[in-house]
Amino acid sequence: DVVVVGSNMMELTTDVDRMPQLGETVAAPSFHTAFGGKGANQAYAAAQLGSKVAMISVVGDDSFGRDYYEHFQQSGIDVSAVEVGHQANGVAPCFIQGNLNSIIVVQGANAELTPAMVDQHRDLLAKAKLIVLQQEISLATDYRVIEIANEFGVPALLNPAPANDEINYDYVRRVQFYAPNETELGRLTHLPVATLDEIKVAAHQLVADGVQNMIVTLGARGVLWVNATTELLIPAETVSAVDSIGAGDAFVGAFAHYYTAGSDIPTSLQQANHYAALTVTKPGSQTSYPRADEM
């Protein structure tokens, strides 16, 4: 079983001809909502592939929160640890002008996912085969989850997105998988990450610092796995890309699925690399994640 502890966000996407100036109102051609948020995306990907997935998350006390709760249920995600907070649901208003995005992230009820709430779901975490974490909730909550994971001997994967320079490496060393994308790797190490060689140097530095397994997603270049004894680059599959929104979350969720289904690390990476490539051929995040029978 996969347990994802993390965020859910309602994406509020507006296509604009141009952005308004401060104080100005403009008409825009279209608007749509979609289910997003890194934690929820990753849970959704694993569930689409057939994993038994539980989510520890907080939805808002509003219509978006109710919609999201229902969406979790309809996706086959266990909602026994999804709580209804006091604040509005997390939202991500996003403005698309041509091929440029402007995005605002409002954490909302995701801020109510506290260490104390995690403590109430220790039993669920103890039963997991893999616990999946990101950084759209407070670091203190991630740290508590890592403590509980270690206590019960459950492996954890931390996707440090969005990157946060204040991350405490005492905790990072205690997760089995640390999975940034190349940009996040650059921010975390303050090293150049333009070329593959530079990326390898940066990943090896974190392993030298005690990180157990680095999984670095490289967009159209694929994925790199580095640990104390291994360096493996899996090139991306060639697809006709529509957009890579949510590809990293699809990768993490798919890796969690295949790894907990019994594949070894390199096989799980290969399978996740295939799944993430498929999601790049369709627009949006969760809307682009196929079920196993649709692949």
Nearest to ligand ADP by Cβ — which residue? 248
Is there a binding annotation on residue 41? yes
How far apart, in whole angstroms, are the C-alpha atoms of residue 84 and residue 100?
A: 34
Binding positions for ligand ADP, 198-227, rule CB under 6 A? 217-220, 222-223
Dist CA 276 CA 260 (whole Å): 17
Minimum distance, C-beta of residue 266 to ligand ADP, in the bound complex (Å): 14
What is the nearest approach in angstroms of ligand ADP to the Cβ of residue 193?
12
* CB nearer to ligand ADP: pick between 42 and 141: 42
* 249 tagged catalytic: yes
241 binds ligand ADP (CB under 6 A): yes
CA separation for the pair 231, 292 (Å, rounded): 29
Q: Which is nearer to ligand ADP, 56 or 276 (CB)?
A: 276
- Selecting among 197, 249, 264, 293, the annotated active-site residue is 249
Among 57, 145, 277, 288, binds ligand ADP (CB under 6 A): 277
- Confirm or deny that 249 is annotated as ligand binding: yes
Q: How far is the CB of 175 from ligand ADP (least distance, A)?
A: 17
Q: Which residues make up each annotated binding site?
A: 37-41, 136, 181, 217-222, 243, 245, 248-249, 273, 279, 282, 284, 288
| Residues designated catalytic | 249
